[in-house]
């Protein structure tokens, strides 16, 4: 892949590890990082050798949000920066056919919080937290945070988080559904890769289609989802992975999926 200056990419056992790499700025996002993330997530999305993506941050923080100290004026206004800059990254994460895991250490604040929530799965270290600080500076959460919070938590809790400017601890994130796992700080990287490897051993077509259906479910009725599941089940029945999975079950061994 391309050499980047504000992010790092590593491939281990068909798992891509994408690290935000401005630790001196707590991985605050500047113009360069935004465009590198657009390019990198697009490449990962279409790379058939990669089965899972981990999104993490170097240093003490996952991402402290937009870099307000950079003084960059690359877009005419905030709306354009969100639509032309940030949205393509979210779109790549949400629409890529493989699972994306956010691995959160320290702060995931502002649009950094939105990036964590937009991922398919989230693992957090015990001392990490999410924060929506916008009400303290006369703004509102962005990066689709209202949609993400509402769909994950319902109106009252979502609105509370949007306006209170309070840290949401890793334990609370786990309890209310913003995180899947919480681990000791020193074992975050190890546990994240271990989880990604476990997921990557599953049938990729199962991972891909379940993500697609799950991502669409909030716009569909129960009946529409039921029919979509039936349609995909028909498509996958008799496939290599289906036959291999059944055979492995009968033979009492681990399946070898494509």
pLDDT of the chain, 258 residues: tens digit per residue: 568 999 999 999 999 999 999 999 999 999 999 999 999 999 999 999 999 999 999 999 999 999 987 666 677 688 888 999 999 999 999 999 999 999 999 999 999 999 999 999 999 999 999 999 999 999 999 999 999 999 999 999 999 999 999 999 999 999 999 999 999 999 999 999 999 999 999 999 999 999 999 999 989 999 999 999 999 999 999 999 999 999 999 999 999 998
The domain total for the chain is 2
Domain that holds residue 209: 204-251
Same domain for 167 and 213, yes or no, is no
C-alpha–C-alpha distance, residues 189 and 125, integer Å = 9
Question: If you count them, how many residues does the chain have?
Answer: 258
Do residues 40 and 18 make contact, with C-beta atoms less than 8 angstroms apart?
A: yes
Domain boundary among 200, 215, 235: 200
Find all residues with CB under 8 Å of 129, minimum gap 6, and list them.
106, 107, 108, 167, 168, 169, 170, 173
Domain boundary among 157, 175, 200: 200
Q: What is the pTM of this model?
A: 0.94
Do residues 12 and 193 make contact, with C-beta atoms less than 8 angstroms apart?
A: yes
Same domain for 118 and 155, yes or no, is yes
Same domain for 208 and 189, yes or no, is no
């Amino acid at each position: 892949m391309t050499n980047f200056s504000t992010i790092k990419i590593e491939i281990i056992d068909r798992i891509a590890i994408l690290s935000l790499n401005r630790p001196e700025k707590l991985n605050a996002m500047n113009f360069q990082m935004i465009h590198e993330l657009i390019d990198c997530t697009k490449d990962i999305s279409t790379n058939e050798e990669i089965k899972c993506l981990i999104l993490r941050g170097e240093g003490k923080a996952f991402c402290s949000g937009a870099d307000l100290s950079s003084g960059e004026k690359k877009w005419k206004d905030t709306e354009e920066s969100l639509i032309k800059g940030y949205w393509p990254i979210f779109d790549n994460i949400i629409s890529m056919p493989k699972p994306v895991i956010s691995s959160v250490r320290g702060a995931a604040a502002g649009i950094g919080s939105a990036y964590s929530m937009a991922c398919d799965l989230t693992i957090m270290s015990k001392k990490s937290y999410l924060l929506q600080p916008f009400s303290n500076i006369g703004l509102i959460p962005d990066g689709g945070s209202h949609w993400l919070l509402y769909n994950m938590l319902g109106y009252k809790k979502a609105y509370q988080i949007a306006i209170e400017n309070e840290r949401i601890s890793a334990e609370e994130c786990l309890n209310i559904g913003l995180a899947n796992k919480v681990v000791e700080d020193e074992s975050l990287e190890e546990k994240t890769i271990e989880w990604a490897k476990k997921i990557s051993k599953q049938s990729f077509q199962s991972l891909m289609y379940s993500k697609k259906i799950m991502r669409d479910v909030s716009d569909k009725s129960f009946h529409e989802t039921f029919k979509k599941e039936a349609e995909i089940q028909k498509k996958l029945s008799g496939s290599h992975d289906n036959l291999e999975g059944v055979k492995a079950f009968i033979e009492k061994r681990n399946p070898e999926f494509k």
